[in-house]
Structure 1
Amino acid sequence: MASNSWWSSSSSDEEEMFFANVVVKAAQILLEEEEEEEDGSSENVITRRIRINRDREGAHEKLVNDYFSDAPLYNADIFKRRFRMSCRLFTRIADDLAGLDPFFTQRPDARNYEGFTTLQKCTAAIRQLANGTVADALDEYLQMSARTSRECLYRFCHNVVKLYSKQYLWKPNAYDVQQLYQAHEARHGFPGMLGSIDCMHWAWHNCPNAWRGQYTRGDHGHPTLILEAVASQDLWIWHSFFGLPGSLNDLNVLYKSTIFSDVVNGIGPDTRFTVSGVEYRRGYYLADGIYPSWATIVKTISFP
């Protein structure tokens, strides 16, 4: 499940850029996973589907009154906690998806009943990504079956990557490198600094029992997945490497990640910088003490 991505943007709204990157990254990771279908036997079994007359229109009205009306029942803080993004970012993504894929517009179904709205379909997808719930967890609220909710999720991920990958998933060029140098030197006094590299652990509550030993480290006490990221001073995460077992440490993750692949292959951007008349060939990352003593990594200095 490990994958890597780079991204940058010129937007002035740093918080929106951060949440947009998280959405695109989560969508990309989910698309890379193979969907597994568990069948009870190798033979095709014909089953009769149960038809439930769901109140789609009523569910849409309740959703609008709860979150998207002029005076919503739940405020912006609750919205951000439940959707993991602001309402403004949500509506921007929903509008873009509706303009790209007719699936995210309201259309009549085979029985000529009005289908789900754009808000309902995007809510189903984003709540699954945000909370890691099963497909039919919001059936009572959105009046949406597990099959439709799952289709919303996969179409959402596919179209989000298609829409925003060129803007949020790209390698930094020479201009971006110089902008990072100037910002870090002005704010922190570190010339030639590309960003800060570190790893964090995300709790994996639904980890299978057979994998718990591999994904659990003693100081955490529960299964985790590791995210390695490089962040700049304004929350740009332009490198991320996600999915390694939580029993590894930062050094193990570094040896498996692809952060220095372009440097090794000689295809990365020009990162030269000059300090006190001395030219250095490569920029560096600020890291903690566990990282190796490489030219591209600067660790904490006890007595500067």
Structure 2
Amino acid sequence: MFNLQVAKNEREEDEERRKRDNEARMGRASHSCRVIQAVTQICKPSRSRNLDRSKQQRGTELLDDYFVRDSAFPDTYFRRRFRMERYLFNETMIAVCNHDSYFVQKNDAFGSMGLLPQQKITTALWMFAYGVSVNQVDEIMRMRKSTILESLMRFCRGIESIVPRETYKHGLAKSYEEG
């Protein structure tokens, strides 16, 4: 009987010791977790609040300025601004939209309409044509920087997969021969 009581007491003491060790370990772990969280908050910039960019309004203005029948700017302005004819832009837009559904206008998570394909493709073309930065395009087109860069990358991938490389080779060779 005495041995059973001693063994029971030892087990209870072991359990209490394990509980204390676990609590101490958890305290150390939670402290280190808190330190890591604090360091990551200091090192990484906080997420900026959402801005009302009026993207639908800017899309409507872009359509009214360049893409509707009686647009505000004639074809000469379109050619100067986009460095191509309007029909070529439209053909390129249709081909890229058929290749990648990213460029097709869809509803966003809140149910409002997303960006127009003209807006996404215009950003990519302006970055190529003028060598402008993302910040400049952001101010003009009212799009997030991440969306602008995503549009640029997807546009490049789309054009590379749509147009065969032989076209580039022959086109470049022909332009060198003429020039």
| RMSD between superposed Cα atoms in Å | 2.5
Q: Is the Cα–Cα contact under 8 Å of residues 105 and 118 in structure 1 kept in the other structure?
A: yes
Q: TM-score, normalised by structure 1?
A: 0.41
Residue 141 of structure 2 corresponds to 142
1:53, 1:144 → 2: CA distance?
10
Which stretches in structure 2 are left out of the alignment for 5+ residues? 1-41
Q: Which has the larger radius of gyration?
A: 2
Supply the AA of the counterpart residue of 1:100: H
1:65, 1:286 → 2: CA distance?
38
Q: Which has the higher strand share?
A: 1
**Cα deviation, residue 44, structure 1:** 5.7
Supply the AA of the counterpart residue of 2:107: P
**Cα deviation, residue 135, structure 1:** 1.1
Q: In 2 relative to 1, CA 47–101 (structure 1 residues): closer, same or farther, beyond 3 Å? A: same
2:155, 2:178 → 1: CA distance?
36
Q: Look up the SS of the partner of 1:99 in the other structure.
A: helix
Q: Deviations over 1:46-67 (max 9, x none)?
A: 5222211221221111001100
Residue 117 of structure 2 corresponds to 118
The answer to whether the aligner puts 1:132 opposite 2:120 as a matched pair is no
Supply the AA of the counterpart residue of 1:169: Y
Identical residues among aligned pairs (%):
25
Supply the AA of the counterpart residue of 1:163: I
Q: In 2 relative to 1, CA 96–137 (structure 1 residues): closer, same or farther, beyond 3 Å? A: same
Q: TM-score, normalised by structure 2?
A: 0.68
Name the count of aligned residue pairs: 138
**Cα deviation, residue 143, structure 1:** 1.6
Q: In 2 relative to 1, CA 136–286 (structure 1 residues): closer, same or farther, beyond 3 Å? A: closer
2:106, 2:136 → 1: CA distance?
23
2:44, 2:138 → 1: CA distance?
25
Which stretches in structure 1 are left out of the alignment for 5+ residues? 1-42, 173-228, 231-235, 240-284, 288-304
Q: Which has the higher helix share?
A: 2
